[in-house]
Amino acid sequence: MSWYDNAIIYHIYPLGFCGAPKINDGGEIVYRLEKVLDWIDHFKEMNVDAVYFGPVFESAEHGYDTTDYKMIDRRLGDNNSFRNICNKLHENGIKVILDGVFNHVGRNFPQFRDVCEHGQNSGYCGWFQNLNFGGRSPYGDNFWYEGWNGHYNLVKLNLRNVGVCDHIIDAINYWIEEFKIDGIRFDAADCIDFDFFRRIRSFCKGKNPEFWLMGEIIHGDYKRWANSEMLDSVTNYECYKGLYSSHNEKNYFEINYSINRQSGDNGIYKGINLYNFVDNHDVNRLASTLTKPEYLPLVYTLLYTMPGIPSIYYGSEYGIKGSKENNSDDNLRPCLDLNNIPDADMNTYAHIIKLGKIYKACESLRTGQYHTVIIRNQQLLFTKELNGKVMYVALNLDENEYELSFGTQFNHLTDLLTGNEFKVNNGNISIKMPPFTSMILTEENIDLGNNNCNENIFLSDKNSDENANQPTEIVIGAKYRHFKGNEYEVIAEARHSETLEELVVYKALYGNAEIWARPKSMFIGMAGDKRRFTKI
């Protein structure tokens, strides 16, 4: 089994994440992408294994109109700065995945400009799909060519041309050799020639057998692309839809059917770890898609416990919202400051941290076989089983309490999300699940360890030594320094009105003196190997 089969992936759209200008004017280089270095502790806290960067190659506008496959977009930095970013991520145990936009290029791609300038005398006429001189293009060129999906600013490449394939493989080799990248996500993979993928796989796996190849597939039989000759994985759009609509429609039968169809005992994709997601740079944010915010933790519990590879789109761990407007994706791709996330949902963030920690600690949860135990419109209970070890995952979508009853061979079960233990009587267990809750139940004595997670969640029968030794008293009126340098004054302790979770309320001692609230367990916890807040 390869690293990516058990990975948690964090997806960034760099041009939006960095607040880069919409148009590349060819001006000065600005090192905006270096801000990702400030997020490394955040990645580690979330147990992220790899960062998947959307387009970073030089382009004219949005990154999917490439002009140079061997150059970092000047709006993000340069090759040397990106090499440093890759090195820092690798030093922290985080792998790097790049977005390979190899189906089409922008109109400023040098070989296309050569055709525009020299016409039929250009040596690159064969590089572009269905290029002919029997008509004029929508841009007024004296030739016709195929634009991707009807967009003529995106010139479709002819991937059956040897020169094109050599050019792309040379670029991939450059990023592997010079930057040690660990994988590629192939944009518009459903439009790419199969023989091209076979050649890419042979080359990349020859360089590094652990190199990950993942394709963007929206419709179709995933096995056509994800197989031993082509890609390792593809985007699981089937379950993306099922994850949100099964909650909005109060119909767990939908997502359960899709998971069983894909990965059940007779699943058609068994042996393929699909790339699972709940939102990305092309679709509305999950918090904007769900009809109730209470559904967020349930969806993320499913994302981390269903078969496949879980991924998080930047900012969605804080429940931020974003929807397409006027055919624009700008709201889906915001510039974010880690220290000032707008309307941050810290409960969702804390829940995702717990899920990441549990995911890393429990092999049966990551790779076990999926079995449905109970399925109702608003309740779902399934197991993940591996070598006789069983994890139960329970979800209650109802706004009312639900009494979950089922048979089990174990003497007791413990919910890893809360630490609550439940006794089994004569082979049967009955649990009263509050509204909108999920549980991950196991009989195993699982030590979740510190694992770079700051949540004071259940750690076998006791807290880890590090957490046990942390100060739990907060001094009202005292000043505290955040591990990134900013200073704050604690003004109160409080409790969440719904969950009763302990909170710390504090005021920034800089800027506009904004007021913040954070779960106490996080305030007193660690960020990687540093204490998050230190009293001064």
Q: Which residue has the tokens 């992408």?
A: 33
Q: Which percentage of the chain shows pLDDT scores above 90?
A: 87
Q: Could you report the per-residue pLDDT of 10-54, keeping only the tens digit for each?
A: 999 999 999 999 999 999 999 999 999 999 999 999 999 999 999
**In percent, how much of the chain has pLDDT > 70?**
94
Q: What number is the average pLDDT over the span 181-203?
A: 97
pLDDT single digits (tens) 279-319: 999 999 999 999 999 999 999 999 999 999 999 999 999 99
Average pLDDT, stretch 365-392? Answer: 97
pLDDT at 518: 86
Matching CATH topology for 1-102+161-190+208-219 and 104-158?
no
pLDDT above 50 for 464: no
Classify residue 483 as exposed, middle or buried by CB count within 10 Å of its CB (0-12, 13-18, 19+): middle
Locate the domains of the chain by residue range. Answer: 1-102+161-190+208-219, 104-158, 364-449, 470-535
Residue 237 has pLDDT above 80, yes or no: yes
**Residue 529 has what pLDDT?**
66
pLDDT mean over 436-447? 91
> Which stretches of 367-456 are assigned E, i.e. beta strand?
369-375, 379-386, 389-396, 402-407, 412-415, 421-423, 428-433, 437-442
pLDDT tens, position by position, 97-128:
999 999 999 999 999 999 999 999 999 999 99
Helix (H, G, I), strand (E, B) or coil at 405: strand
Instruction: Kindly tell me if the per-residue pLDDT of 463 is higher than 50.
Output: no
Stretch 349-373: mean pLDDT: 97
**Lowest-confidence range among 199-208, 265-274, 371-380, 470-479?**
470-479
Mean pLDDT, rounded, for 81-98: 98
Beta bridge partners of residue 415, listed in sequence order = 441
Average pLDDT over residues 510-515: 86
In the CATH scheme, what is the code of domain 364-449? 2.60.40.1180
pLDDT at 165 over 90: yes
- Say how far apart CA 464 and CA 428 lie, in whole Å: 31
Mean pLDDT (the chain) is 93
pLDDT value at position 450?
46
pLDDT at 427: 94
Give the predicted TM-score (pTM) of the model: 0.85
Helices (H) and strands (E) in the chain, counts: 14, 28
What whole-number distance in Å separates Cα of residue 119 and Cα of residue 236? 42
Q: How far apart are the first and last CA of the chain?
A: 47
Return the CATH number of the domain spanning residue range 1-102+161-190+208-219: 3.20.20.80
144 has a pLDDT exceeding 90: yes
The pLDDT of residue 402: 97
Q: From the options 2.70.70.10, 1.10.10.60, 3.40.1190.20, 2.30.30.320, give the CATH code of 470-535.
A: 2.30.30.320
CATH number of this structure's domain 104-158, picked from the four choices 2.60.120, 3.90.400, 2.30.30, 3.40.50:
3.90.400
Residue 452 has pLDDT above 80, yes or no: no
pLDDT interval class at 79 (50, 70, 90): very high
| Cβ atoms 85, 78 nearer than 8 A | no
Q: CA–CA separation, 202 vs 247, rounded Å?
A: 41
User: What is the pLDDT at residue 47?
Assistant: 97
Going by the DSSP 8-state scheme, the letter that residue 318 receives in this structure is: G
**Closest C-alpha among 287, 340, 346 to residue 38:** 340
